[in-house]
Chains A and B, each alone.
Chain A
Amino acid sequence: MDFLIFKAPILMVQASMDGILLGLLFALIAYGMALQWGVMNIINIAQGELVIMGGYIAYFMYTAGIHPAFGIIVSPIIMYFVGWFLYKSIINRVVERDLFISILATFGISILTQQLMNFVFGADVVVAQSNFGTTLLFDDSVTLPNAKIFSALVSIVFAVALVLYMKKSRLGRAIRATSQNPRAAKILGVDTEKVYAATFGINAALCGVAGSLIAITFTLHPYVGLPYTVRSFMIVIIAGLGNLPAVALSGVGLGVFEEFADYILGTEFRIAAVFLLLVVILVYRRFKLSKKREYLK
Chain B
Amino acid sequence: MGIILEVDQVYKHFGGVKANENVSLTVEEGSIVGLIGPNGSGKTTLFNSIVGTHPIDQGSIYFEGREISALPVPAIAKLGLLRTFQQTRIYEKLNCIQNMLVSSKPENDTVYNVFAKIPEELTEKSENLLKFVGLYQKRNLRAGDLSFGQQKLLELAMALMNEPKMLLLDEPTAGINPTLINGIIDRLIKVNKEFGITLLVIEHNMRVIMSLAQKMFCLAHGQLLAEGTPEEIKNDHRVIDAYLGVQ
Task: Consider the complex of A and B and state whether they touch directly, i.e. have CB atoms less than 8 Å apart.
Answer: yes
What is A's interface to B at a CB cutoff of 8 Å?
291-294
Q: Is B55 an interface residue (CB 8 A)?
A: yes
Cβ contacts under 8 Å, A294 to chain B: 54
What is the size category of the interface that chain B forms with chain A? under 10
Which residues of chain B in 66-96 are interfacial with respect to chain A, using CB atoms and an 8 Å cutoff? 72-73
Inter-chain CB contacts under 8 Å: number? 10
What secondary structure prevails in chain B residues at the interface with A?
loop
What secondary structure prevails in chain A residues at the interface with B?
loop
Cβ contacts under 8 Å, A291 to chain B: 55
Cβ contacts under 8 Å, A292 to chain B: 54-55
The interface centre, meaning the residue of A291, A292, A293, A294 with most chain B CB atoms within 10 A of its CB, is A293
Q: Mark B50-72, 1 if CB is under 8 A from A, else 0.
A: 00111100000000000000001
| Bound form: Cα–Cα A165–B73 in Å | 47
| Bound form: Cα–Cα A293–B52 in Å | 8
| Bound form: Cα–Cα A293–B55 in Å | 7
| Bound form: Cα–Cα A15–B55 in Å | 43
Cβ contacts under 8 Å, B54 to chain A: 292-294
Since A293-B53, A293-B54 are in contact, a sample of 8 more A-B pairs with Cβ atoms closer than 8 Å, ordered by chain A residue number, is A291-B55, A292-B54, A292-B55, A293-B52, A293-B55, A293-B72, A293-B73, A294-B54
Closest residue of chain A to B73, judged by CB? Answer: A293
Closest residue of chain B to A292, judged by CB? Answer: B55
Closest residue of chain A to B72, judged by CB? Answer: A293
Q: Could you write out 7 A-B pairs with CB less than 8 Å apart?
A: A291-B55, A292-B54, A293-B52, A293-B53, A293-B54, A293-B72, A294-B54
Q: Which 7 interchain pairs have the tightest Cβ spacing?
A: A293-B54, A293-B55, A292-B55, A293-B53, A292-B54, A293-B52, A293-B72
| Bound form: Cα–Cα A273–B134 in Å | 58
